[in-house]
Amino acid sequence: MSTRSTVASQMRVYHRYLGFFLAGIMAVYALTGVILIFRQTDFLKQETHNVKTLAPNLSDKEVGEQLKVRDLRLEGDGPVKKFKLGTYNSETGVADYTEKKYGFILEKLMHLHKATTKDPLFYLNIFFGAGLLFFVVSSFFMFMPGTNVFKKGLYFTLAGIVLTLIMLFV
């Protein structure tokens, strides 16, 4: 048996079983990825009412940091200042606000896309990325070079690269 067919056979076997293993991970990533496209809307978010006591007389930036609200702007005269999500009493430090968040399970699933090196999910993301890269490489071993299927596969690969570049830069 030639070296080419041995390597191709092994790549097919690895591709097949890694594909079955990663199918579940890919399904979750695909679903959460599509949902994240709508993250700036209220799609699938639940409204929760919160009351937190902060230190009195905080600045806009400090209130935003403690409430984990980006670009928070306090408005109004007097002790009770309003912001987009609620109010902050600068005398008592009480922040009364409403926020919209994903439910517990969906929030955990969304975290897959946001994991950093300080998070154990980081290893899953590295493994998943490496697995997808292996799929890219091993797919070229599925068909013999020089065949029509292989040549068409190269055209489709080039079309995928071009489409991605167009979407990124246009």
What total number of domains does the chain contain? 3
54 and 33 in one domain? no
**Domain-ending residue, one of 102, 122, 137:** 102
According to the model, what pLDDT value does residue 114 have? 86
Residues of the chain with pLDDT under 50: none
According to the model, what pLDDT value does residue 2 have? 61
3-state secondary structure of 126: helix
117 and 33 in one domain? yes
According to the model, what pLDDT value does residue 164 have? 95
According to the model, what pLDDT value does residue 168 have? 95
98 and 50 in one domain? yes
According to the model, what pLDDT value does residue 91 have? 95
152 and 132 in one domain? no
Domain span including residue 98: 45-102
According to the model, what pLDDT value does residue 4 have? 65
If one counts every other C-beta atom within 10 angstroms of the C-beta of residue 62, the result is 13
13 and 30 in one domain? yes
According to the model, what pLDDT value does residue 3 have? 67
118 and 97 in one domain? no
163 and 135 in one domain? no
85 and 96 in one domain? yes
The full 3-state SS of 45-74, as one line of letters, equals EEEEEEEEECCCCCCHHHHHHHHCCCCCCC
As to burial, measured by CB atoms within 10 angstroms (0-12 exposed, 13-18 middle, 19+ buried), residue 123 is: exposed
Question: For 38-85, what is each residue's pLDDT tens digit?
Answer: 999 999 999 999 999 999 999 999 999 999 999 999 999 899 999 999
151 and 72 in one domain? no
